[in-house]
Each structure stands twice: as C-alpha cells, then as structure tokens.
Amino acid sequence: MNISQTSLGQPIVPSYELAQLLEPVQTELELVEEWLRSNLVDNSPFISELLNQVFKAGGKRIRPALCLLSAKATHSGTGDISRLQIILAVLTELIHTASLVHDDVIDGSTTRRGQETINRKWNDKLAVLIGDLLFAQASVCLSRLMNPEVVGIFGQVIGDLCAGEIRQMRQQFIATLELDSYIQKSIWKTASLFAGGCHSAPILNHCSQTVIGSLKEYGLALGICFQIVDDLLDITGDANQLGKPAGRDLAHGIVTAPALFVLQQKSSASQKLHELIQTRAVCTSDGIAEALNIVRQNGGVEATISLARQYADKAHKSLSILPPSNYKDSLDNLVEWLFARTN
C-alpha cells in the first residue's frame, strides 16, 4: 500500500488523491456521467431540470468506480470491459442517488453537498416522485443487464436500503443498542450496495465463485468501514467539513458507534449520555454539546477508529485472490483513502 502509517498501523496522510486512484477507469467514469444525465424514462424538460439538479452536486462517484475497478481487476481479456459493466456502474449510482433523495425527505434536509435539495426547492411530494423515477431508471438498467443473478442481488439491495431505514427509525433515542445491531444496520443502509456492485462485476465477467465471493466480501467490509467512518465524522467533524452541524445524527436520536462504545462502559459518563439520549435532551443545543463532549472524552472516538480499522483490514485481505494489476492497487488503496478520513 502506498501510504504512510503510524506504528499502530493507522494512516497519517494518503500519498495520493482520489483522482489518482480512479484514473485507471476515468474514461469509463466519463461514460457513466453521460448516462446518468440521460433520461431513460421521461424526457420532458422539467424532469430533465430536476435530474440535473440532483446530479449537479456530483459527489465522488465511489460506487460506480468500485464497479468499474472490480470489473477491470477481474477481466481476463485484453480488450475493454463490456458495455454491461458501464450499465452496472450507472445502476449503482442511480440507486444510491434515489435513496439520498428519499433520505432528504425523511430527514427534512435543506442542502446536500452545498446544493439545495429537491424537497427544499419544491416540496416533499415531488422529491419522493423524483426518487421513485430514479429507482425506475435503475430498473431499466437492471433489465438491460439480462442477468437473473444480478437482478436478484439488486432486488435484495433495494430491500436492504428500506430495511435499514426502517430499523434506524425504530431505534431512535434507544440507548441500549448492541454493536451487532449497529453493524447489521450499516450493512443494510450502506454496505449492501457496495457489495452488490463489487461482486456483480465479476459475475458479468463469468468469474469463478471464489473470485465473486471475495469481491463480495471486499465490498461488504469496505461499505461497513465507510459507514463507521461517516458516523465518526458526525462526532469529530465541523460544520464546514460535514456540510451540516456536528452531532446531527445524535441530535436526531440515532446512536452510532462512537456513542455506543461509551454507552457500553457502565460508567458515570455512560449513564449521563444514556440520560441525555433517553430524555431527548440531545435535541437541544446544550444537550447535544454535552453529549458530544462525553463521547469525545471517554474513548468513543478511539474505539470507533479501531472498529473501522478491523473492517479496513478485512477489505484488504479479501483482495488477495486477485492477480496484480493497477486496478487491484486502486481497490486496495481506496480502502486506506476511505479510512484516512478518520484523521
């Protein structure tokens, strides 16, 4: 791995930018970007305007990049990857974006990546319908893959996204969660889509079940790590870095790994944090400030970094089956790029 590390094995600063890691599939990502902005279901000017707003913020396109890198890393031929792999990459980003549009409605968000949300600019009803339209476009892509196994995978992915959101709603302001429940929710909300894209690519390449299974494990571990780090940043980041106030999840009663580790300590600090959550004091500015201080000063951050490291290591190990290539290197280094956000 091309990364500087401390004696504890945790990264200091990656020696590369994301653009460097995605460079091996840059041509294909440009095609993905074009396809995302084409309207597969309704070509009316108003719908096109809405879709342009949804995709205007861009995002990092991590999910389609993972599909393309997985496709290239497991491609045994010497030519370009097939058109089906481009469709797969577009499919993953459509599902991801649709879920974000729906999440903005559920959370009452007004901005995302510095752009005004659909529900803010227009209304909740239109935002829900745009999210549905994106899922419909994803369904068109899925049908064009003409692979029953991949259809089943992404049917499960969409079900997982819904199940994760429902579980999160039912667990709001509950301070007695178990770590296993948190990990399962992270799989449903995030890692399922990562894994779906990563192992559908070798399926389309007609790879062995061993290779397919290894890429699935890679995507799953990477997705869990990604979610853990996101949850950590909600505690340690600032408004400028996050694009939202720090502690927003906890203020909405969503207990993630940093708070969970403190709550499990059975100390006076954990009891106080439990009280702040159960009484919904975290909904106030003073209450959330106190809760964040408790988490930061009682090992919540350090324990969460250690948990993320475990899943980062699992992701690395899952790639050992792949032959050497610059595509494998990018997949490997993407793990550390994501993990480095903990610093």
Return d(Cα 142, Cα 122) in angstroms, integer. 29
The residue ranking higher by pLDDT, 38 or 279, is 279
HSE (side-chain half, CA atoms, 13 Å) at 75: 19
The residue ranking higher by pLDDT, 108 or 65, is 65
pLDDT at 239 > cutoff 60: no
Tokens at 176, concatenated: 């007695």
286-317 burial: b if 16+ Cβ within 10 Å, else e: ebbebbbebbeebbbbebbbebbbebbebbbe
Give residue 304's pLDDT: 97
pLDDT at 67 > cutoff 60: yes
pLDDT at 242 > cutoff 50: yes
Q: How confident is the model at residue 109 (pLDDT cuts 50, 70, 90)?
A: confident
pLDDT at 246 > cutoff 80: no
Q: Are 92 and 34 in contact (CB under 8 A)?
A: no
Lowest mean pLDDT among 142-156, 190-204, 211-225, 242-256: 242-256
Q: How confident is the model at residue 231 (pLDDT cuts 50, 70, 90)?
A: very high
- Residue 17, C-beta contacts closer than 8 angstroms, at least 6 positions apart: none
Give residue 59's pLDDT: 76
pLDDT at 177 > cutoff 70: yes
pLDDT at 34 > cutoff 90: no
Q: Please state the domain count of the chain.
A: 1
Return d(Cα 228, Cα 251) in angstroms, integer. 17
CATH number at residue 239: 1.10.600.10
Question: Alpha carbon of 114 to those of 59, 130, 221: distances in Å?
Answer: 11, 19, 29
Lowest mean pLDDT among 41-55, 128-142, 250-264, 302-316: 41-55
How is 69-128 classified by DSSP, letter by letter?
Answer: HHHHHT--SSSPPPHHHHHHHHHHHHHHHHHHHHHHHHHT--EETTEE-HHHHS-HHHHH
Question: Could you tell me the residue range of the domain that residue 168 belongs to?
Answer: 3-342
Q: Are 128 and 105 in contact (CB under 8 A)?
A: yes
Give residue 121's pLDDT: 80
Instruction: Reduce the DSSP state of residue 307 to 3 states and report it.
Output: helix
Nearest CA to 235 out of 247, 253, 245, 219 is that of 247
Helix, strand, coil: what percent of the chain each, to 5?
Answer: 75, 5, 25
Q: How confident is the model at residue 244 (pLDDT cuts 50, 70, 90)?
A: low
Percent of all residues in the chain with a pLDDT value above 90, rounded to a whole number: 71
Q: Residue 158: what residue type?
A: I
Q: Are 283 and 250 in contact (CB under 8 A)?
A: no
Please, what sign has the CA dihedral across residues 198, 204, 207, 208? positive
Instruction: Reduce the DSSP state of residue 206 to 3 states and report it.
Output: coil
Nearest CA to 328 out of 82, 71, 88 is that of 71
Beta strands in the chain (DSSP E): 3-5, 11-14, 111-112, 115-116
Q: Give the max Cα distance, the chain.
A: 62
Give residue 237's pLDDT: 79
Nearest CA to 176 out of 252, 286, 273 is that of 273
83 C-beta neighbours (distance < 10 Å), count:
10
